[in-house]
Amino acid sequence: MDVLRTPDTRFENLTGYNFAPHYCEVKADDGTPLRIHYLDEGPRDGEVILCLHGQPSWSYLYRKMIPLLTGAGYRVLAPDLIGFGKSDKPAAVEDYSYSAHVDWMAQWLQAVNLTDITLVCQDWGGLIGLRMVALFPERFARLVVANTGLPDATTMPEEMSAMLGAMYPQLPIPSATDVGDAFKAGAPGAFLFWVKYSAENPDFSIHDVFGLLSGIEDDAVLNGYEAPYPDASYLAGARKFPSLVPLLPEHKAEREKNDAAWKVLEGFEKPVLTAFTDDDPVTRGGEKRFQDTIPGAKGVAHVTIHAGGHFLQETQPEAFSKAIIDFMKTT
């Protein structure tokens, strides 16, 4: 496995990102060592909040929230998934799989030996984090689920998967604008446009992704999100992630693993908060499955965050942090 590591100089002088780096080594299936970077801020004896990002962001996404959460007395850890941020980046798209991501983060979780965790997960942070909860439910005290999902046989039955599998090869390679238009229109199979854009458009752009899903226009912020990727060779993980969402027929094994994860979540009685935004074009309405299925979500004062887009940590950090803090103080 060929592994790339972004030079530290790429991360100098990033606005609002002045946190000490921490590192942990895990191993790929073939024995290749992979270095995971993570932030670890706040009092050592504070209750632990684990913040997991998605695609194509990194721990930079939580830079506005970390001071708010640590200021409330919590210890906050925010790792960079393999392929993102300051973590190592396998260079081939074939090196990435859904199960590999879960395994890498499970190794990290065991190495840092966290317990009594409040998980905060968004986007792929949910797809990976909720699988981790299923593997180690005893390590988690609460869940905060935001703008994410966990596709399984219930949400993606085989007939629908087969239909999407037949549709995908027929789609033209879209632009970022095409993807945005498909989401805004609520077009059937809109997510497939996102998959195809990320996997096949030679002009795939981190700038365009954040503009598409949250309307960020500040170049300093956009440059921060793009810092981990000096050139296109570093983008394999970011480009592959949408293709790993278990929607198509070839993803059946991962849907079955998510089926098993849901079985654990159906017995998870510790507190669960949903904090979805009202305008996320990707996951809007997805909170209902969590609220209806997980026992720990019953009786919780779930929140809807207004005008947060997909990356609510960036656009509504105060509201999201307040929801987390209030939830932790009352459970």
Which residues are tagged catalytic?
123, 280, 310
Residue 109 CA to residue 301 CA, distance in Å, equals 29
Contacts of 243 (CB under 8 A, 6+ apart): 195, 198, 199
Positive or negative, the CA dihedral 244, 82, 85, 6 is negative
240, 96 in Cβ contact below 8 A? Answer: yes
Residue 62 CA to residue 203 CA, distance in Å, equals 27
Residue 125 CA to residue 109 CA, distance in Å, equals 14
Q: How many CA atoms lie within 13 A of 327 on its CB side?
A: 29
The CA-atom distances, in angstroms, between 80 and each of 38, 57, 62, 247, 295 are 6, 9, 11, 25, 30
